[in-house]
Amino acid sequence: MSVKITVPATSANLGIGYDCLGMAVSLYSEFTFERADELQISGCSEKYRNENNLVYRSFELALAHWGEEPFPIKLHIDAAIPVSRGLGSSSTCTVAGIMGAAALTGRIVGRAEAVSIATEMEGHPDNVAPAIMGSLVCSFTPQGELPNCIRYNVNPNLRFVTVIPPYEVKTEEARKIVPQEVPLSTAVWQMGRISGLTRGLESGDVRLIAAACDDKIQEPYRRELIPDYDEVREVCLNGGAATLWISGSGSTLMAVTDDGLVAESLRARLQSMHPDFQVHVLECDTQGVRIQLA
C-alpha cells in the first residue's frame, strides 16, 4: 500500500499573536510512503536521504510512541514549502511522519492525539496545530499538560499575499533578538489586540485586522533581520492591503486584503520588482493534513 500525506504551510504569530497564533494556508508539501525492504528517500538533497531525515525521524518516533517496531519505508518528498522561511516547513515534515506511520500501520489518529504527539516532537504547537487542524488556531500548553488548541474559522473572502525572499532568517537568531521581558503595558497592548485580530479574521473585517495587527513584542526587532521588510510593507499598504506581518520568524512576509484584484495586482507588482522572490496569493486552508491512497 502506498499513501500520500498532504500538509499545508502555516504562518505562525500573525504579527500580534507571538508563540500562540498560527494559521494554515493553501501552499502544500506532499509525502508519499510505502513499506520497503530498506530505507529509500527521494525528492530531497542527498544529505537528507538517510535515517536523519526529519520526516523519517518523526515516523520512527510516532511508531515508538505507540509501541510499534520501526520498519523501512520508501519515502518520496515533493515539497513546495520552502525551508527556513517562516512557513512551517519543519512542522510539515513532523506531521507527515506521524500520519504516514499511522496510515501504514492502520492506526486511527484523531486531531487531539496528532497535535499532542507533534507538539512533543516540535516543542510547541503554534505551527503543528494548524497544520493538523486547518484554519486559525490559538494554542497554549499548561505546565505538564497536553496543549489546548482553539480553532477559529477564517473568512473565505480574505486573501494573503505571501512574499518569500530568497534568503533565510534563522529561528535561533530571531528568538535571540526578541526581549525576554516586557512591561505590563506592553502585555496589555498585546492581549486586547490578539482578541481583535482573531475576531477580524473570523468576520473578514479588514479595518479591525489592521487596527489589531500592531505588535510590540517581536516584529519591531525581527524586521531588522529582513532587508526588504520596509519596501515590501510600503508597497503592500500603499497598494491597498490592510496590514502586513512577518510569517513565523521570517523571512516570509504576508499581507492581508479582502479584495482579490488588489491581491493579484500586488502579486504582479512585487514579482516584477523582485524576480528572485516567490510571491503567492494564498487562502486560509480549512482542512489541515490530508491522507489518501497514492
* Binding-site residues from annotation for ATP: 82-92
DSSP state of 85: S
Helix (H) or strand (E) holding 26: strand 21-35
How long a stretch of residues is the chain? Answer: 294
Q: Which amino acid is at 227?
A: P
Residue reference for cell 510547541: 124
State the helix-helix crossing angle for 229-238 and 260-273, rounded to 10 degrees: 140
**Please, what is the end-to-end C-alpha distance for the chain in angstroms?**
8
| Range 92-126 burial, b when 16+ CB lie within 10 A, else e | bbbbbbbbbbbbbeeeebeeebbbbbbbbbbebbb
Residues in the annotated binding site: 82-92
